[in-house]
């Protein structure tokens, strides 16, 4: 028997055991649909638009709220206010550390709210009702099948060994950073460095891994990290999962062991804050800041408003990742960059750290694009706040890859010098001088850089229009930095420099000193002068063989005697 819709059969057994069939209309149970208003878990407190970070923090703590509204659409998290205060930036306007938090009506469905949180928003603002904070524990998604398909067999075997060693130490191991990012993109290339994060004793895992791979170990005790190098593998960096605290803008951080979720929070960009637990059978992906979504949208996004202030070298890394991964900083990240640059220079930021990141950028295959991003964002103002992007500077930056390739084949100078010449070559003398002094150079390299910056503009005009012999006299004593600066200048100056190193500097007369003396030139300085004049004649094509060289020396000697 087929029951009509909306009815169901039920069996009722009486006292005498007889069965009776009964039908009754089903009850309708209302479906509960949660909305944003139902999910609110914190109050949003209105604050004066011009309130300082320190005053806003005191207000929030007094009222025990996690979010302040400094205007209709400007919301500030207490965590960001506390960070500003700890960095000594309490006088900064609270609005300066606002985030672009999504704002939804109270009747927005729960699913839409969860989607916003999954896309990386730390908090969703509910109009007129409060706010919803993102859960503290990042959601893990099994991704073993996807990553195993993307990773080379050698990398999979290495990760299996890392998992085995970590488990033996009673630790959880995660692969993080670039490998996860590139595997997700399906862009794994040649074997590179591996970034392993350990919930547990990272250095102990590193020591055991070095033993298992028959490799060498270098420990960095201050940062709870160690590096392993083993035959057949790149460098394996092993770090204890940790949190960081910066005592002042640009200073190196103090670190403390922490869960993996906090370790991901301390990183630079969403695309680098992804990790996969290799000690789990499922290989679970942690992506609390929606790095995967950023990759799909080709978006480069900082993790908190003062990230560039804590570590200004992230400005250089932003340009490097933007070029390498074809990403574009979003508007909020660009605002955070501008805030960090407005606070430059950074007394606690060492010149060596800037130089190291600039050299890494110059080693990128797409370094011209990285330099263009760097310049458009104003990052060179870390070296001198007076730096400005000019058309001539843009042209030099575009020429950097060509000049780097040219200098590398001739060991003219190091890449850092080329980068400095491109960034500072068109700046006022005082700015160029300051920039040169903030790249960690000293001694002769610094002197050469400063001389090149000072003399190149006039020298480029001179050698570009000079005869070969005059150009040779100008270039013969030039340093490698000056030669690189002339090459960056392009045009006739570049052609002269390329000619000089390829052919011009090798031009020498066949007639020697004894021959010159035999032709009547007296011993002493006159011999060197005669040979120099003869070499110039060779460069200008006035003499072509030994006979014409000897005729030239006779004529030169006669002219010198007449002058005397």
SS3 sequence, 364-430?
Answer: CCCHHHHHHHHHHHCHHHHCCCCCCCCHHHHHHHHHHHHHHHHHHCCCCCCHHHHHHHHHHCCCCHH
Work out whether the CA dihedral 458, 461, 463, 467 comes out positive or negative.
Answer: negative
Coil/strand/helix, residue 510: coil
Helix 391-408, helix 480-489: angle, nearest 10:
130
Cα separation, 563 vs 125, in Å, equals: 91
- pLDDT for 361 equals 97
Count H helices and E strands in the chain, helices first.
25, 20
SS3 60: helix
Cα 317 to Cα 101, 368, 417, 498, distances in angstroms? 25, 14, 19, 32
* CA quadruple 208, 211, 215, 219: dihedral, nearest 10: 40
Neighbours of 88 (CB within 10 A): 11
CB atoms inside a 10 Å sphere around CB 412: 20
List domains and CATH numbers for the chain.
Answer: 36-133 (3.10.580.10), 140-297 (3.30.460.10), 383-506 (1.20.58), 513-563 (no CATH)
User: Omega before 345 cis (within 30°)?
Assistant: yes
How far is the C-alpha of 279 from the C-alpha of 392, rounded, in Å? 53
Q: Return d(Cα 250, Cα 347) in angstroms, integer.
A: 7
Return the number of other C-beta atoms located less than 10 Å from residue 205's C-beta.
26
Instruction: Give the per-residue pLDDT at 20.
Output: 41
What does the pLDDT profile of the chain (564 residues) look like in tens digits? 344 444 443 333 444 444 444 444 455 556 668 999 999 999 999 999 999 999 999 999 999 999 999 998 999 999 999 999 999 999 999 999 999 999 999 999 999 999 999 888 999 999 999 999 988 766 778 888 888 888 888 899 999 999 999 999 999 999 998 899 998 888 775 556 799 999 999 999 999 999 999 999 999 988 899 999 998 888 999 999 999 999 999 999 999 999 999 999 999 999 999 999 999 988 999 999 999 999 999 999 999 999 999 999 999 999 999 999 999 999 999 999 999 999 999 999 999 999 999 999 999 999 999 999 999 999 999 999 999 999 999 999 999 999 999 999 888 999 999 999 999 999 999 999 999 999 999 999 999 999 999 999 999 999 988 899 999 999 998 999 999 999 999 999 999 999 999 999 999 999 999 999 999 999 999 999 999 999 999 999 999 999 999 999 999 999 988 886
3-state percent helix, strand, coil for the chain, nearest multiple of 5: 50, 15, 35
Alpha helix (H) residue ranges in 199-350? 202-213, 260-265, 291-297, 307-310, 314-325, 331-342
Q: Is 234 exposed, middle or buried (0-12, 13-18, 19+ CB in 10 A)?
A: middle
What phi and psi values does residue 119 have, to the nearest 5 degrees? Answer: -80, 5
How many angstroms separate the most distant Cα atoms in the chain?
A: 150
Rounded distance, CA 228 to CA 262, Å?
24
Burial class of 543 by CB neighbour count within 10 A (0 to 12, 13 to 18, 19+): buried
Question: Token pair of 114, please?
Answer: 């969860």
Report pLDDT for 29. 54
Predicted local distance difference test score (pLDDT) of residue 12: 39
User: Nearest 5°: phi and psi at 196?
Assistant: -110, 130
CA–CA gap between residue 432 and residue 435 (Å, rounded): 5
Which residues, 6 or more positions from 370, have their beta carbon under 8 angstroms from its beta carbon?
319, 320, 322, 323, 324, 361, 364
What single string gives the DSSP state of each residue in 176-230?
ETHHHHHHHHT---S---EEEEEES-HHHHHHHHHHHHT-EEEEEGGGTEEEEE-
Q: How far apart are CA 128 and CA 72, in angstroms?
A: 10
Mean pLDDT of the chain: 91
What's the pTM value of the predicted model, to 2 decimals? 0.87
């Amino acid at each position: 028997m087929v029951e009509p819709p909306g009815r169901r059969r039920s069996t009722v057994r009486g006292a005498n055991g007889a069965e009776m069939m009964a039908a009754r209309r089903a009850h309708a149970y209302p479906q509960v649909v949660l909305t944003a208003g139902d999910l609110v878990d914190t109050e949003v407190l209105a604050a004066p638009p011009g309130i300082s970070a320190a005053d806003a923090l005191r207000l929030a703590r007094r009222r025990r709220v996690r979010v302040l509204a400094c205007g209709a659409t400007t919301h500030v998290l207490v965590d960001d206010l506390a960070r500003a205060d700890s960095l000594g930036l309490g006088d900064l306007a609270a609005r300066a550390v606002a985030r672009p938090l999504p704002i939804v009506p109270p009747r927005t469905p729960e699913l839409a709210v969860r989607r916003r949180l999954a896309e990386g928003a730390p908090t969703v603002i509910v109009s007129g009702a409060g706010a919803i904070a993102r859960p503290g524990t990042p959601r893990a998604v099994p991704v073993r099948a996807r990553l195993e398909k993307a990773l080379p067999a050698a990398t999979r075997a290495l990760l299996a060994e890392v998992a085995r060693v970590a488990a033996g130490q009673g630790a959880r191991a995660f692969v993080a950073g670039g490998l996860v990012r590139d595997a997700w993109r399906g862009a794994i290339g040649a074997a590179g460095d591996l970034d392993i994060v350990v919930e547990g004793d990272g250095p102990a895992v590193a020591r055991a891994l070095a033993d298992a791979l028959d490799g060498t170990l270098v420990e960095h005790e201050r940062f709870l990290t160690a590096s392993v190098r083993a035959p057949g593998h790149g460098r394996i960096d092993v770090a204890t999962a940790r949190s960081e605290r910066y005592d002042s803008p640009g200073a190196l951080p103090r670190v403390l062991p922490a869960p993996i979720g906090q370790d991901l929070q301390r990183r630079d960009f969403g695309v680098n804050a992804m990790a996969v637990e290799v000690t789990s059978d499922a290989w679970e992906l942690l992506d609390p800041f929606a790095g995967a979504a950023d990759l799909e949208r080709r978006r480069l996004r900082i993790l908190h408003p003062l990230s560039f202030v804590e570590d200004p070298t992230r400005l250089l890394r932003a340009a490097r990742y933007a070029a390498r991964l074809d990403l574009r900083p979003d508007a909020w990240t660009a605002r955070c960059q501008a805030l960090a640059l407005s606070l430059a220079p950074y007394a606690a930021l060492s010149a060596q750290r800037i130089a190291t990141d600039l050299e890494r950028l110059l080693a990128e295959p797409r370094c011209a694009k990285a330099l263009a991003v760097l310049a458009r964002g104003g990052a060179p103002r870390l070296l001198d706040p007076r730096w400005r992007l000019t058309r001539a500077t843009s042209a030099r930056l575009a020429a950097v890859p060509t000049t780097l390739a040219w200098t590398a084949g001739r060991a003219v100078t190091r890449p850092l010098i080329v980068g400095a010449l491109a960034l500072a070559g068109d700046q006022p003398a005082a700015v160029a001088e300051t920039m040169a002094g903030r790249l960690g150079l000293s001694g002769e390299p610094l002197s050469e850089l400063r001389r090149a910056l000072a003399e190149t503009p006039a020298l480029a005009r001179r050698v570009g229009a000079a005869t070969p012999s005059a150009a040779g006299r100008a270039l013969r004593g030039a340093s490698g930095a000056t030669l690189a600066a002339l090459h960056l200048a392009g045009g006739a100056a570049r052609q002269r420099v390329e000619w000089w190193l390829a052919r011009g500097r090798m031009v020498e007369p066949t007639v020697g000193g004894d021959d010159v003396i035999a032709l009547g030139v007296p011993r002493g300085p006159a011999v060197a002068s005669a040979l120099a004049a003869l070499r110039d004649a060779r460069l200008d094509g006035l003499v072509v063989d030994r006979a014409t060289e000897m005729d030239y020396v006779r004529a030169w000697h006669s002219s010198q005697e007449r002058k005397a």
